[in-house]
Amino acid sequence: MLDLKQIRENPEFVRDRLDRRGEGYDLAPILALDKQQRELQKTRSQLQARSNEIGKAIGQKMKGGVDPNSKEVTTLKEEGNQVKTQLAELEPQEKEFIAEINRLLLQLPNLPADSTPIGANETENVEIRRWGNEYLREGEEILPHWEIGEKLGILDFKRAVKIAQSRFVNLIGKGAALERALINFMLDRQTEAGYVEVMPPVLINTQSLTGTGQLPKFAEESFQCAEDDLWLTPTAEVPLTNLYREEILEVAELPIYHCAYTPCFRREAGSYGKDTRGLIRLHQFNKVEMVKLVSPDTSTDELEAMVKNATAILEALKLPYRVIELCTGDLGFSAAKCYDIEVWLPSAGKYREISSCSNCWDFQGRRANIRFKEAGKKGTKYVHTLNGSGLAIGRTMSAILENYQQSDGTVKIPEVLQPYLNFAVLEK
């Protein structure tokens, strides 16, 4: 959530930053409501002060022996009742103003960082670096991962439709074992990097999704259990960040690093026709997520470190990748700055996203009311939150099936994964 005070005091700055995203965001309704609310609050404060004066005056007169039924006392009581009536009318009006302001604020995305490249869409994202050119395969007859997976009997899409619907998959035999090995490998690497593992609920409430920015904007992307006010988690970013919702932390507790494996669920609304085959865009997929809660002073460096934590997985697997910095027009709703990590898929001859690492500044901290207190200082500050995939499991498997595919139709298992498995080759 954006800072209402910043919008009030520097609306042109906020408009400029929002305009960089390329969408029309109108601050006028928020500013108008804020002005009305503050005027009403001023009136209510004045009335409350007058009510207190009247109460005090009546008390003094009674203490001084004035007859409670005297005109001067009854006149004060009548005025006091009128003031109380006015206050009773103003209080719900003020609550309505505040609720509407918050509703509008929740619809505004985060402000892009100064260093985020300005651009209209993904075509203007900036490539930062590439890794693994020596492992990059081009111009070879490599089957798409879904074809080799079905030939090997480890991916079953047809029966998944019977169980659920399209965009689900059954992992069979060594396919299930490979998925499990990847989860364990990634969790081991991230815990070695300093992240504390959590196994959170995958059913989460509306307040949690609101706290991280998935609601209200992306309701159509999520699966809801409406009778229970619970949703299937779209990413472990949500429960990990909301572990600390409505809490005030001590500065000594920061930074907080967490990682988690969860299944993730997304409707992929608006994406039909894209990646209809394979593991790239499923309604249910597994992912290891990294989340950081940090001081504003360190969040810039923490993002760079998080990207290294994610790319270290790909380097260990010897999978070629590139790092892209997202421009303002392609930036996620809650992000101020974001890097996408894209892995090489030789069958398509291009890189595909496998991780997105974002610095959200205090945007989620403000929405979820996560603050910290510095020793010896008054007041509190909102934490900065960061999140990133470390990594998406299905997309990693698809990259292994293609990059490690052999001419005889088998697929080698990356060396670092072999200790997690009792086989070194996928074969029929």
β partners of residue 296:
none
Q: Is 353 a catalytic residue?
A: yes
Question: CB burial class (10 A; 0-12, 13-18, 19+) of residue 305?
Answer: middle
Question: CB burial class (10 A; 0-12, 13-18, 19+) of residue 59?
Answer: exposed
Question: CB burial class (10 A; 0-12, 13-18, 19+) of residue 217?
Answer: middle
Of 334, 395, 398, 402, which is the active-site residue?
395
Strands 248-250 and 371-373: parallel
Tell me the Cα Rg of the chain: 28
Of 130, 245, 281, 322, which is the active-site residue?
281
User: CA 428, CA 416: separation in Å to the nearest integer?
Assistant: 22
Of 266, 366, 367, 371, which is the active-site residue?
266
Q: Is 302 a catalytic residue?
A: no
Question: CB burial class (10 A; 0-12, 13-18, 19+) of residue 94?
Answer: middle
Q: Tell me if 388 sits within 8 A of 356, measured CB to CB.
A: yes
Of 208, 222, 299, 356, which is the active-site residue?
356
Q: Is 266 a catalytic residue?
A: yes
**Catalytic residue ranges:** 266, 281, 353, 356, 395
